[in-house]
Amino acid sequence: MDWQNLFLTNTGRLDRQPWWIGSVIIFLISLIARIVIHIVFGHGNSLGHVLDAIIGLVLLYPAVNIGIKRFHDRDKSGWWVLIAFVPIIGWIWYVVECGFLPGTDGPNRFDPT
């Protein structure tokens, strides 16, 4: 698996398994970073909150990229990744759409080869 392509590009398609792997990796990095921030800075520290926000923004980039490629595999526009930002229902729909529904068999408009 090409990790750089997985996380840093938003072109092409992505099957369910690499989407799950990428999502779990991003979640674990976020979880570990937040635990470390909490241990180092304690609860309620402003610098800890700022670092937490920065890490969240940095991890948003690869998370959006894998979502876009997963929607491409479903022959849908990458803009559908924005549905994940709708509280509760949007996130559930995003996980079902990307994590459980199969992609398009054969070529589609996002990967004609």
Check: CB of residue 13 under 8 Å from CB of residue 106. no
> Which residue is associated with the tokens 């976020």?
30
CA separation for the pair 40, 80 (Å, rounded): 37
Each residue's pLDDT tens digit in the chain (113 positions)?
A: 799 999 999 999 999 999 999 999 999 999 999 999 999 998 888 999 999 999 999 999 999 999 999 999 999 999 999 999 999 999 999 999 999 999 999 999 998 75
The predicted-structure confidence for 11-41, as pLDDT tens digits, reads as follows 999 999 999 999 999 999 999 999 999 999 9
Q: Is 12 helix (H, G, I), strand (E, B) or coil?
A: coil
- Sign of the CA dihedral running 12, 13, 18, 23: positive
Closest CA to 62 of 88, 30, 103, 16: 30
